[in-house]
Structure 1
Amino acid sequence: MITLAACQYHIDLLETWDAYARHLTTLCEEAVAQGAQLLLLPEYAGLVLSGQLPAAERSDLHASIAGIQPLVPRWLELCEQIARDCGVYLQPGSMPVLDEDGQYRNRAWLFGPQGCLGSQDKLMMTRFELEQWNIAAGSELNVFDTDLGKLGILICYDNEFPMLARGLAEQGADLILAPSCTDTAAGFYRVRIGAQARALENQIAVLQSPTVGMAAWSPALDENTGRAALYVPSDYGMPANGIAAESPELSPARSQWLICQLDLDEVRRVRDNGQVFTRRDWPKQFGCVGPAKH
């Protein structure tokens, strides 16, 4: 049994590095004090760093993304230090990062007690990211082997594409971390429904962490709606609706942690002894497709 923490992360204006560092450290320590072994923050949580920029810069979409790049190394050091000091696994959300090829990519890192374990780029870009931010897609799916189990990361929109989760499952992932950032309830439910479907199809668990709140000071993080949750397959010994845990309200007025328990052995058990074998039967669907009969 492992203890997970998914944050409904309220977007607050933090205008100095010290204020931000205290905020993130205190927030993580709150989850650790409740026994959390793995902490998940949402997509673009790192963009809160743009609050440290001058008002004119942070209120400009492209200038705010460029302006936080010098802070990225310091942010990574902070996240790694929190994971080491607290002895936990930390996925602190994602942020746009400028790569050597001149392209920005939406990247999420995973840290553990031993340091940085690597990163996962978002693979499917939304219209906003493509048409307004000019953020490029990543190219690889990574699985992280941890003391808690094998983990994968699918960032927000990526959860709406079955083959991505299938790729992680085939690499051995038992738990997918789904950091998300959605401005409308419809956007949140698209990701939620996708995450639940990926748990069902692959007979794995998916943990979702969303942004919440209003941030008029940021054109990137202006409106945020979401609910943190842990999804599992609907099967013997699992919740009938596939929701193992969820935060009590949609978009609270402050950051809140969903603390929940997950037994990965039980999730694996349904693959061998479930009512259905969606994971095993996946390839059969291709064999069943034939020409239409007239």
Structure 2
Amino acid sequence: MTTLKIATIQYGLTDIHSAEHYWELMAEKLQEAVRQEAELVVLPEYVTAHLLSLVPAMDNEEACRYLDSFTTVYRNFFQHHSKETDMVIVAGSHICQEADGYVNTAFMFFPDGRVETQNKFHLTPEEKHRWLLKGGDSLNIIHTRWGKAAILTCYDIEFPEIARIAAARGVELILCPSYTDSAAGYHRVRHCCQARAVENQLFVALSGIVGSLPVGRPQIDEGHCQAGVFAPCDVPFPNDGILMSGRLNENMAVYTTVDFSELHKNRKHGVVAPFYDRRPDLYEREEKARV
């Protein structure tokens, strides 16, 4: 299988009046993707934080406990809808509890019932010092019917080392669910998504939260994003490497079909080959010299 139709979501914060209403809206987004014949859906980081708008403002520890209370419902909902729709669903990320504390975990649901997870590696200062989350310490290379994928959540994409490791292990699609509450934060993540696509000669799919809540919460108030799917800036792809992108900060889904055979052509016949033309010996020598 060389082609894959991706739906990457600009998830709009709206006024919801119950948890049931939230899940109904989520089901509507998934049904829209079905009508567009998407095979993979990518939802944003912290997508379930929208549920915090249903309760009075909490401190971060209370918010973690509250969001974790939805973990069983969250898993059951997306497992059911993945099977019913025959779509692979990257259900954004969700705060859940592990033995040593709370983690920001991205979940990927498959129609056959398989569930893959990836804890966010690189935590922002807010996540470390205010949320008191624990960072991930193991990269999950996810095998799919179209090839290998990896999930690098938001801030993770700003670190080229982990993306290069994923690429060296055969990953050709990086999935980047994000939540950025400022234009600067969005542009950092967006530019790094495109940089990772260029330097590793692979595809990157970015999703994010947009809009604002009528009454904000300390953990989520507004979002900035222009979701998209990116490729190397080289033949046979568009000059700017943008396969498709949404309209800035609008509540919408972005659909595009990626062709992995074109990626293989790029790696063999591109004008440049940054995936292959690395100089590890040079980098190692210079790193030692710096010390």
- The answer to whether structure 1 residue 286 and structure 2 residue 288 are counterparts is no
If the length of structure 1 is used for normalisation, what is the TM-score?
0.92
Query: Equivalent pairs: percent with the same residue?
Result: 31
Moved more, 162-171 or 8-17: 8-17
Q: Which runs of 5+ in 1 are unaligned?
A: none
Note closer, same or farther for the CA distance 1:290–1:227 as it changes in structure 2 (3 Å cut).
Answer: closer
Tell me, in whole angstroms, the C-alpha distance in 2 between the residues paired with 1:281 and 1:32.
40
> Deviations for 1:109-166, whole angstroms, at most 9, x for unmatched residues?
1011112331001000111111211111010111111112211100000000001101
- Which runs of 5 or more structure 2 residues have no equivalent in the other structure? none
Check the 8 A contact 1:144/1:151 in 2, yes or no. yes
Counterpart in the other structure of 1:272: 268
1:166 corresponds to which residue? 164
The aligned counterpart of 2:9 is 7
Report whether the alignment pairs 1:49 with 2:51: yes
SS at 2:239's partner residue?
coil
Look up the SS of the partner of 1:176 in the other structure.
Answer: strand
Task: Give the Å deviation of 1:104.
Answer: 1.0
CA distances 1:240-284 after superposition (whole Å, capped 9, x unpaired): 11111101x2112xx310011100111122111111110011244
Counterpart amino acid of 1:264? F
Residues 116 and 15 of structure 1, relative CA distance in 2, 3 Å threshold: farther
Deviation at 1:51, TM superposition (A): 3.5
Residue identity in the other structure for 1:44? Y
Q: CA deviation at 1:59?
A: 4.3
User: In structure 1, what is the equivalent of residue 42 of structure 2?
Assistant: 40
How far residue 291 of structure 1 moved from its aligned partner, in angstroms, is 9.0
Deviation at 1:69, TM superposition (A): 1.5
Q: Matches of 1:19 and 1:96 in 2, distance apart?
A: 20
- Per-residue displacement from partner, 1:197-256 (whole Å, max 9, x unpaired)? 111111000000011011233211112101001110011111111111101x2112xx31
**Structure 1 segment 7-156 matched on structure 2, within 5 A:** 7-52=9-54, 55-56=55-56, 58-101=57-100, 103-156=101-154
Shift, 1:73, TM fit: 0.8
Match for 2:283: what amino acid?
F
Question: Given residue 205 of structure 2, which amino acid in structure 1 is its aligned partner?
Answer: L
Is structure 2 residue 191 aligned with structure 1 residue 189? no
Structure 1 residues 68 and 287: CA distance shift in structure 2, 3 A: closer
> 2: distance between equivalents of 1:173 and 1:129?
27
Aligned residues: 285
Q: Point out 4+ residue stretches in structure 1 off by more than 3 angstroms.
A: 58-61, 287-292
Which residue of 1 is the match for residue 225 of structure 2? 226
Counterparts of 1:211-250 in structure 2, within 5 Å, are 211-215=209-213, 216-247=215-246, 249-250=247-248
Residue 42 of structure 2 aligns with an amino acid whose one-letter code is: L
Q: Structure 1 residues 291 and 108, CA, compared in 2 at 3 Å: closer, same or farther?
A: closer
Alpha-carbon distance in 2 for matches of 1:243, 1:183: 23
TM-score by length of structure 2 reads 0.93
C-alpha contact 2:210 2:249 (8 A) present in aligned 1: yes
Moved more, 111-120 or 83-92: 111-120
Cα pair 1:201 1:278 within 8 Å, conserved: yes
User: 1:22 corresponds to which letter in structure 2?
Assistant: E
Alpha-carbon RMSD? 1.7
Contact 1:212 1:225 in 2 (8 A): yes
**2:68 & 2:52 partners in 1: Cα distance?**
10
